[in-house]
Amino acid sequence: MTGPATRNDLMIVNMGPQHPSMHGVLRLIVTLDGEDVIDCEPILENRTIVQYLPYVTRWDYLATMFTEAITVNAPEQLGNIQVPQRASYIRVIMLELSRIASHLLWLGPFMADIGAQTPFSIFLERELIYDLFEAATGMRMMHNYFRIGGVAADLPYGWIDKLEAPKGELGIFLIGDQNVFPWRWKIRPPGFINLQILPQLVKRMKLADIMTILGSIDIIMGEVDR
């Protein structure tokens, strides 16, 4: 009687989406040798820059205008692309509205974490900003509005009449070699950088205070793990 045949082929496995009990989910494509991880797919460098634009809105989905802006800014500088003045003004308006909306969504839950009774009334102002986003982009979140060289569409009539990376420095390091696929694309997310201070912030503090201290940093896990 012959024993079962063994195979030495590597196995490709989809892992996730996994939810780490915080904002966002993580999906990985891993190559296994038995149970040992040999490789993990770099999604970005297997897409053209244009194809990857919708992905970046999932980094910090509470301030997607910032992730879109830095993503199109890198190839614009690389290719010396000039953005029209009106498109530049529209970008700044969208970025500042996104900054305010992100801060409001942090402030409301953080106030609840430290015992406030009516913190979510602050969401009324946030909804007004989301109404403007929906009118301009068709989406309340994950707008996919910025484009290389400008924006997807002009602002609708009467939009401006209604007007009265929020978390730190967001950067992209991009190297191109005259190919549609980036040779190297490195992301510097503010959430991941800000999280590094947590061990110093909680030192000599009470265990019950850790979640309050963590909440004060205002991190988004989708941006931390990317």
**Is the whole model's pTM more than 0.85, yes or no?**
no
CA distance 180 to 47: 8
Domain CATH number, residue 138:
1.10.645.10
Please indicate, yes or no, whether residues 88 and 194 belong to a single structural domain of this protein: yes
Quote the domain boundaries for residue 1. 1-41
CA distance 70 to 59: 12
Q: Which residues lie closer than 8 Å to 37 by C-beta, 6 or more apart?
A: 30, 31
Per-residue confidence at 84, pLDDT binned at 50, 70, 90? Answer: very high
Q: What is the total count of domains within the chain?
A: 2
Mean pLDDT within 175-196 = 80
Map tokens 């992905």 to a residue.
Answer: 55
Please indicate, yes or no, whether residues 26 and 106 belong to a single structural domain of this protein: no
- pLDDT for the residue numbered 20: 45
Please indicate, yes or no, whether residues 3 and 67 belong to a single structural domain of this protein: no
DSSP class of residue 83 equals P
Question: Tens digit of pLDDT for each residue in 97-142?
Answer: 999 998 888 888 788 777 877 777 888 888 888 998 999 998 888 8
Question: Tens digit of pLDDT for each residue in 15-70?
Answer: 766 554 455 556 667 777 776 666 666 666 677 777 878 878 877 778 888 888 88
Using only the alpha carbons of the chain, give its radius of gyration. Answer: 21
CA distance 102 to 4: 57
